[in-house]
Chain A
Amino acid sequence: MLPFLTRRLLQLIPTLFFVSVIIFSLQQLLPGDPALAMAGEERDPAVLAQIRKEYRLDRPVYVQYVYWVAGVLSGNLGESMRLKEPVLTLIAQKFPVTLQLALMAIVFSLTIGVSAGIISAVKKDTSIDYAVNMVALWGISTPNFWLGILLIFLFAVHLGWLPASGYVGPFEDFWLSIETTILPAFVLGNSFAAVLMRHTRSAMLQAMGSDYVRTARAKGLAERIVVLKHAMRNALTPVVTLGALEFGTLLSGAVLTEQVFSIPGFGKLIVDSVFNRDYQVVQGVTLITATTYILLNLLADIAYVLINPRLRG
């Protein structure tokens, strides 16, 4: 396990280095004078001079990069031009909101996606299988912001059961928090559930055709036990790993979902920052998202090795 961990951690270094280069390079895409673009509405020469000094815009690009990385490594992601607050503080404020949404979406998609995938595999080539596949195809092809708008119309405007937008934290009012997040979580988890369903189905079909399942059946075990205990346990390992890998997709989806439902999370922060030309925040959010994804990937790999004894070296 230790050699594997060391190798895997060493691999992270070049990946993180290139992530930082890509995100730093975004700044170079700004047309014209970057100080002017970064200042946004501000045209005060003193402010422009301060930006040039702070980001060392008068120095060569590689020097700017070194200073930027040094800042990032010491926890300084810059300051929001608009909100006059450190980017890291802003992210720390918004992240729990998106995390709640993402966790609810994961619970929803695991429940629906995995059970639908198992049923679909067990009932292969029946009308149930076709129906589940159709629903999965629908889930993958529906843009989540459109689904969000339609659900707001149905549940908020037409039926009046749920609020159309806004957010209440779970520690302020638990039930109101559920009310404000249940639709967005469903919307966010929808396509993820469809992806999970497809993967569970194929993993289950593979497991059901394997020798150990045939042996379990030959022993005279009940079909329910064969499916749930023997096939499912083995089929779910890659599916759970996939769950961690799809977290990035979930964060992408959160950008749109939070916009539709006016939820003040991570996604809304990046969109608001884009429109206010608050480039430091855009870079900071992108960097944190990528790092989170890379670390989740690492955890998924470790979990995979822990679950699968054959991979333990």
Chain B
Amino acid sequence: MAASEALVVELGEESPGARAWRRLLRRKSAVLGLVIIVVLVLVALLAPLIAPYDPAQQGWTAIRKPPSAQHWLGTDESGRDLLSRVIYGARASLLAGVVSISIALTFGVPVGLLAGYGGRWIDALIGRITDAMLAVPFLILAIALAAFLGPSLQNAMIAIGVTATPIFVRLTRGQVMAVKVEDYVEAARAVGNPPVRIALRHILPNILPALIVQATISIATAIIAEASLSFLGLGQQPPAPSWGSMLNTAQRFLTNAPWMAVWPGLAIFLAVLSFNILGDGLRDALDPKER
């Protein structure tokens, strides 16, 4: 072990993770995406410290005020500070993005591994269920689930997570099918490794790049889905701030207070864009053909 490590150091070879990271940093748009994501995460975490006002604090003397030195982004129909609400809204959006995709990964990857590695009968059964779930358009299934579960941020995250699960089942299965015929998997099988160990130790690490890329892009989709559900009244419930529900309210005051419609939408756009360009960058950086 020590000898092989020394050899790696001597040859100046880097680990696959380090190589991908280095190649990711070479792509300006991906770095920009990463920077925006880091800023958004910091904004969400430090919201109580950086928000100038309490996001739920109503001010009857400051109803629908345009942007000013006091309220940088203006105020809403209840006199609440829009900047503070946009800052706190980052929490709901990022939480929904990460939690729902984590749900999808938690269920989708093991089921996908089972389908790809479990044999024809299980594969056919999982395949048909996946087809059925993918047949219902993403948002319509999420709306239906959120409607039956009841409107709340937690249920919206569950609905989006469940809806995104078949994407990961199908991706994992496809990747497993491609990888399981490789020599190193055959070798692992030949020396008597049990199937679970082969799936977890030999197959999973090799399909990880594809999963990381898909998860990043799916977070963008999940953020839009959460904003959509909140816009329809099926996500975060008022008075808790969320970008989607802020846009819903803003639509009613478009004539008198158009600024209310600008900032939450811009925030959603930036969050979604950052995950999309990071996903694109990761796809290129993790592509083995580009080594």
Contact = CB atoms under 8 A, between A and B. Distances in A.
A274 B150 CA distance: 10
B136 interface: yes
Interface stretch (A57-65, A71-79, A200-208, A286-294): A286-294
B233 A251 contact: no
Interface stretch (A15-23, A48-56, A218-226): A15-23
Contacts of A271: 143, 232
17 contacts: A15-B131, A26-B144, A137-B276, A137-B277, A141-B276, A146-B269, A153-B254, A248-B137, A252-B138, A255-B232, A256-B231, A256-B232, A259-B231, A270-B140, A271-B232, A279-B148, A286-B140
Interface in A244-278: 248-249, 251-253, 255-256, 259-260, 270-271, 274-275
A290 B136 contact: yes
A154 B261 CA distance: 12
Interface stretch (A27-35, A80-88, A89-97, A120-128): A27-35
A146 to B, nearest CB: 3
B210 interface: no
A312 B238 CA distance: 57
Interface string B139-165: 111011111111000000000000000
Interface residues on B, range: 35 or more
B265 interface: yes
A146 B263 CA distance: 10
Nearest to A154: B258
Interface string A31-51: 100000000000000000000
A141 B280 CA distance: 13
Contacts of B131: 15, 18
B254 to A, nearest CB: 5
A157 interface: yes
Interface in B246-261: 247, 250-251, 254-255, 258, 261
A247 B5 CA distance: 52
A283 B147 CA distance: 10
A143 B228 contact: yes
A285 interface: yes
B137 A293 contact: yes
A18 B140 contact: no
Nearest to B135: A290
Contacts of B254: 149, 152-153, 157, 164
B198 interface: no
A286 B138 contact: no
Contact of B139 (A150, A153, A164, A252): A252
Nearest to B251: A149
B247 A145 contact: yes
Given A141-B269, A153-B254, A271-B143, A19 B224 contact: no
A255 B264 CA distance: 20
A248 B150 contact: no
A141 B232 contact: no
A164 B146 CA distance: 29
B132 interface: yes
B171 interface: no
Nearest to A18: B132
Interface magnitude class on chain A: 35 or more
B132 A27 contact: no
A3 interface: no
Nearest to A191: B224
Interface of B: 128-129, 131-133, 135-141, 143-150, 220, 224, 227-228, 231-234, 247, 250-251, 254-255, 258, 261-262, 264-265, 268-269, 272-273, 276-277
B135 A19 contact: yes
B137 A289 contact: yes
A7 to B, nearest CB: 13
A152 B258 CA distance: 11
Nearest to B228: A256
Given A153-B258, A249-B138, 8 more contacts: A15-B132, A137-B276, A143-B227, A255-B140, A274-B143, A279-B147, A282-B147, A290-B137
A290 B258 CA distance: 37
A289 B140 contact: yes
Given A141-B220, A149-B265, A19 B228 contact: no
Contact of B224 (A143, A150, A164): A143
A169 B143 CA distance: 27
A96 B273 CA distance: 34
A14 interface: yes
B140 A259 contact: no
A158 to B, nearest CB: 8
Interface string A281-310: 011011001110110010000000000000
Given A15-B135, A248-B137, A259-B232, A142 B269 contact: yes
Contacts of B150: 31
A293 B136 contact: yes
B64 to A, nearest CB: 15
A216 interface: no
